[in-house]
A and B are shown apart, each in its own frame.
Chain A
Amino acid sequence: MTAYLLRRLAIAVATLFVASLVVFSVLEILPGDPARLMLGLNASPDALAALRTEMGLDRPLAARYLDWLGGMITGDFGRSLTYSSPVIDLVKERLAVSFPLALIALTLSTIIAIPVGVFAAARRGKAADTVAMGLAQVGVAVPNFWFALLLVYVFAVSLRLVPAGGFPGWGDSWASHWQALRALILPAISLALPQAAILARVTRSATVEVLGEDYIRTARAKGLPYRRVLWRHALRNAMIPVLTIMGLQFAFLLAGTIIIENVFYLPGLGRLIFQAISQRDLIVVEGVVMLLVASVILINLVVDICYTIVDPRLRGGR
């Protein structure tokens, strides 16, 4: 068990290291001099040289890479040039939108998908299964930003129940918390439903597979009620593929909200990165991408550890 976890940890760290090399080199070979982009075409050569020195652009690549990497390890992600504030502060500010949004979306998708998936598996081949999986099949095909537009039209434009976009900030009173939450309702639903469709399909097929196992028959044979067998024995064993997909989805939600944040004008991580790219604010792009990559790797690691909790058989070998 320990050896397995150590190996997984070593792979995670190595992956992160290689990813940092990729991010750094892709962004450094970019066409366009960031200093010139900031000062414009009419800048004097002296001013340009001064800024390049200030930004460290005149130093060798390797030295800049090591500085950047060392800074990140100690929690210093550098300073944004366009926002003139530390990258880490920008990230914290934006995470206050993106993290709750991802969490609400994942929670919604899970509480819809798992019961639907298990229910469909239990009644496989029957009408309820066909209808549920037909809906899931359609749900998988729906682009979340289109679904978002439809929700905006129905609930914001026609019924005026929620705002169509923007984010008022969390504030300090309950009233302002509620206003902030209201602004996240439609984005969360538009993110959650297509995800729920995928998760429901995975849950169903994993549960169907487990229901064919001998231990399920044994559990039934010793007189346990079907419902108990289904929710306790079958679902637990079906959780591994379900957890894998949930891990992937959370990682996707954290970063993949980029389009939804654009639909609803939410000041989240996705929009931060989108704006930073167009302004060539490379230090922000590098920092945010690395944080996202790190969270994907971390989530996968956590999912792996969850496997061993869900399925004790995995603790021994591997």
Chain B
Amino acid sequence: MSLDPVPAPQRRRMRGALSNRSFLVGLVITGAVILMALVSFFWTPYDITRLAVANRLLGLSPEHPFGTDHMGRDIFSMIMIGARNSIAVAIVAVGIGMGVGVPLGTWAAARGGWADEVLMRANDVMFAFPALLSAVMITAIFGPGAVNAIIAIGIFNVPVFARVARAGALALWPREFILAARASGKGKVLITLEHILPNIAGLLLVQGTIQFALAILAEAGLSYLGLGAQPPMPSWGRMLFDAQTRIAVAPHLALFPGLAIVVTVLGLNLLGDGLRDVLDPRLRQER
């Protein structure tokens, strides 16, 4: 009997994870963005609620590494605070997708028959609506704002997670350990909770990272159209909108918020790729 708190297979998996380059780079980038958002609650280089019109549209300098915007606010500070908005929207939107989609998908897989058919057809209907367009409709109709943006993005995450959870669960149900659990008299709900969910957790985690990245892109798009977070709350998409009319005089305004989006999404995608490799080593050999 080992006294080691971490069982050997898991330890091996962790070591595998840390030697996976995508995973490591993705983890560092994602961690840095989250850290930046957290730090912004306590400290930013400048107070962005204080407008200093004398300092408007400054270029890059040691005082303002990313320059200042049309109201004299420090771009770097705004990007730090904008990270909060992006992350919060994405977490809740993915949470809605998982929270609704995973129970639906696992239920359809366990129940089969009409329930499965109804869910899959409902999924078809959802997928027939172009997601971004529908998100624009929802936010435009129910009023622009961060909360409606979250709901609009969240709704379109539901069918994605329902489909992934269903496919993962369906592949598990005929397996022997599930048969054993059924033979021991466990109900479908208990089996789903005890055996199915832990075994599709990796799949869901990988999909979650991808959806997180997509949600950040979607939020940026909605904010760019003026339908996401409202000023004075800074958001990366909104900053790009403000930059557009001034692109001839101050191109740096358009550069940094966009880079922030690219770096964050890239980090999440790398993390997702790395996770998939680590959790499913078979895929790694093929790639």
Are A149 and B254 also in contact (CB < 8 A) when A205-B287, A278-B140, A289-B133 are? yes
Q: Which residue of B lies closest to A285 (CB)?
A: B137
> Which of A111-119, A222-230, A251-259, A308-316 is found at the contact surface with chain B?
A251-259
CB pair B262 A293 closer than 8 Å: no
B39-47, B89-97, B263-271: which lies at the interface: B263-271
Contact A141 B265 (CB under 8 A): yes
Cβ proximity bits A140-167 to B, threshold 8 Å, 1 near / 0 not: 1111011001101100010000000000
Give me the 6 closest cross-chain CB pairs, A-B, nearest first: A146-B258, A255-B130, A141-B265, A141-B266, A277-B140, A255-B133
- Closest Cβ of chain A: how far from B236's Cβ, in Å? 9
The answer to whether A259 touches B243 (Cβ under 8 A) is no
Query: Which listed residue, B141, B254, B270, touches A137 by the CB 8 Å rule?
Result: B270
Whether A274 and B129, one on each chain, are in contact in the complex, defined by CB atoms closer than 8 angstroms, is no
Residue B196 interfacial (CB < 8 Å): no
A141 and B269 contact, CB distance less than 8 A: yes
- List the B side residues contacting A258 at CB < 8 Å: 132-133, 136, 225
A90 part of interface (Cβ distance < 8 Å): no
**Interface residue ranges, B against A (CB under 8 Å):** 121-122, 124-125, 127-130, 132-133, 136-137, 140-141, 213, 217, 220-221, 224-225, 240, 243-244, 247-248, 251, 254-255, 257-258, 261-266, 269-270, 286-287
- B133 near A270: Cβ-Cβ < 8 Å: yes
0 or 1 for each of A274-301: is its CB under 8 Å from B? (1 = yes): 1001100000010001001100110010
B80 → chain A closest CB, angstroms: 19
Partner of B243, one of A22, A149, A270, A273: A149
A-B contact pairs, 11 of them (CB 8 A): A15-B124, A15-B125, A124-B287, A140-B266, A141-B261, A141-B265, A143-B258, A145-B240, A277-B141, A278-B140, A296-B127
Q: Is the CB of B132 within 8 A of A137?
A: no
- A292 and B133 form a contact (CB under 8 A): yes
CB-based contact A14/B136 at 8 Å: no
Task: Report A-chain residues with C-beta under 8 Å of the C-beta of B244.
Answer: 149, 263
In whole angstroms, how far apart are the Cα atoms of A209 and B124 in the complex? 27
CA distance A145 to B136 in the complex (A): 15
Among A14, A209, A256, which residue has the most Cβ atoms of chain B within 10 A?
Answer: A256
Beta-carbon contact of A256 and B125 below 8 Å: no
Contacting A153 at CB < 8 Å: which of B130, B224, B254?
A: B254
Give the total of A residues in contact with B, Cβ under 8 Å.
48
Residues A143 and B221 in contact, CB atoms below 8 Å apart: yes
What is the chain B residue whose CB lies nearest that of A288? B133
Residues in A whose Cβ lies below 8 Å from that of B240? 145-146, 149
Task: Assess whether A256 is in contact with B132, with CB atoms less than 8 Å apart.
Answer: yes
Contact, CB under 8 Å: B121 / A11:
yes
| Contacts across chains A and B counted by CB atoms under 8 Å | 124
A300 shortest CB reach to chain B, Å = 8
Chain A residues 193-211 with CB under 8 Å of chain B are 205, 208-209
Cα–Cα distance between A259 and B135 once the two chains are bound (Å): 12
Does A11 lie within 8 Å of B132, measured CB to CB?
no
Contacts of B265 in A (CB 8 A): 140-141, 143
Q: What is the predominant secondary structure among interface residues of chain B facing chain A?
A: helix
B254's closest neighbor in chain A, by CB? A149
Establish whether residues B286 and A209, one from each chain, have CB atoms under 8 Å apart when the complex forms: yes
Q: How far is the CB of A5 from chain B (nearest CB, A)?
A: 16
Per the 8 Å Cβ criterion, residues 217-266 of A in contact with B are: 251-252, 254-256, 258-259, 262-263
Q: Which residue in chain B gives the minimum CB-CB distance to A262?
A: B225
Instruction: Answer yes or no: A127 CB below 8 A from chain B CBs.
Output: no
One of B125, B136, B140, B217 near A18 (C-beta < 8 A): B125
Query: Among B128, B225, B258, B269, which residue has its beta carbon within 8 angstroms of that of A19?
Result: B128
Is the beta-carbon distance between A15 and B136 smaller than 8 angstroms?
A: no
Given the known interface contacts A19-B128, A143-B220, A289-B133, the answer about A212 and B254 at a Cβ–Cβ threshold of 8 Å is no
Q: Give chain B residues whose Cβ lies under 8 Å from the Cβ of A278.
A: 140
Given A157-B247, A289-B129, A296-B128, 16 extra CB contacts under 8 A: A18-B125, A137-B266, A137-B270, A138-B266, A143-B265, A145-B240, A146-B240, A146-B254, A146-B258, A146-B261, A208-B287, A212-B286, A259-B225, A263-B244, A273-B133, A293-B128
Given contacts A137-B269, A259-B225, is CB(A152)–CB(B130) below 8 Å? no
A63 CB–B CB distance under 8 Å? no
Residues A277 and B121 in contact, CB atoms below 8 Å apart: no
B235 CB → nearest A CB, Å: 13
Query: Quick one: given A143-B221, A152-B247, are A208 and B286 in contact (CB under 8 Å)?
Result: yes
A284, B81: Cα distance in complex, Å: 38
A143 and B261 in contact, given A137-B269, A149-B240, A277-B141 (Cβ under 8 angstroms): yes
Quick one: given A259-B224, A277-B140, are A153 and B133 in contact (CB under 8 Å)? no
A30 at the interface (CB under 8 A from B): yes
CA distance A278 to B255 in the complex (A): 30
8 A Cβ contacts from A98-145 to B: 124, 137-138, 140-143, 145
> B251: which A residues are within 8 A, CB to CB?
153, 157
Query: Chain A residues near B224 (CB, 8 Å)?
Result: 145, 259, 262
A143 contact set on B, CB distance < 8 A:
217, 220-221, 258, 261-262, 265
